[in-house]
Amino acid sequence: MMTTPELVPVLTKEEIQQKIIVLAGMISRDYAGKELLLIGILKGSFIFLSDLVRHLSIPAQIDFIRASSYADTMSSSGTITLTQPVQIDVKNKHLLLVEDIVDTGLTLSCIKDYFRLQGAASIKICAFIDKYERREANIPVDYTCHTTHEGFLVGYGLDYAENYRCLPGIYHLKM
Ligand code: IMP
Ligand code: MG
């Protein structure tokens, strides 16, 4: 039997904006005087990245990569395919990988290894949400707006089977 999923509010759009202002302030301080390249991981990070960069007070370059680990399911397959690489040369740049959510960490761990081999000066992770219950890879989430231990979240760029990305707030999807 099909039931309608329930959307339980987690963060309002106002709360999100306040958290992003604080985060952008930290990033601006930490990267002052450095050549910063923000790399958004598509598609989930597109809204977060666009809000974040408008609150930075330092210059930064922006590029995107596309990685896919799971199709329409709720758990990571552990096999990550890079379907669109960066166009800007990352050598000697300070990279900030921008993700919507870190779950097992397998996606970002693969992506971090990939950029390390390309000679980046430093690589840090900025994830809108840090969901740590199922973490498998030992990777630090250097910057985050919200920490949660479990649950499937949607909205503000995060999807379930390509739905819910356009919601302005974050919701817990209960099936
Ligand atoms: P990881 O490799 O398990 O860390 O998977 C990270 C990716 O899985 C994210 O970029 C999302 O695309 C997706 N993901 C993990 N948890 C959620 C969630 O709660 N909502 C929406 N997408 C999620
Ligand atoms: Mg994603």
Question: What tens digit of pLDDT does each residue of 105-132 get?
Answer: 999 999 999 999 999 999 999 999 999 9
Whether the predicted pLDDT of 51 surpasses 80: yes
Q: What is the pLDDT at residue 165?
A: 98
pLDDT interval class at 74 (50, 70, 90):
low
How remote is the CA of residue 96 from the centroid of ligand 1, in Å? 18
Domains, the chain, with CATH or none? 6-174 (3.40.50.2020)
What is the arrangement of strands in the sheet containing 6-11, beginning at the earlier edge strand? Answer: 6-11, 170-174, 153-154
Contact call for residues 135 and 105 (beta carbons, < 8 A):
yes
Q: Does residue 105 have its Cβ closer than 6 Å to ligand 1?
A: yes
Catalytic, 103? Answer yes
Which residue from 99, 92, 80, 78 is spatially nearest to 142, judged by alpha carbons? 99
Atom of ligand 1 nearest to the CA of 67: 10
- Nearest residue (by CA) to ligand 1, atom 23, is 101
Q: What is the pLDDT at residue 164?
A: 98
Q: What is the pLDDT at residue 81?
A: 80
pLDDT interval class at 142 (50, 70, 90):
very high
How remote is the CA of residue 33 from the centroid of ligand 1, in Å? 32
Distance in angstroms (rounded) separating the CA atoms of residues 12 and 156: 10
What percent of the chain has a predicted confidence (pLDDT) above 70? 93
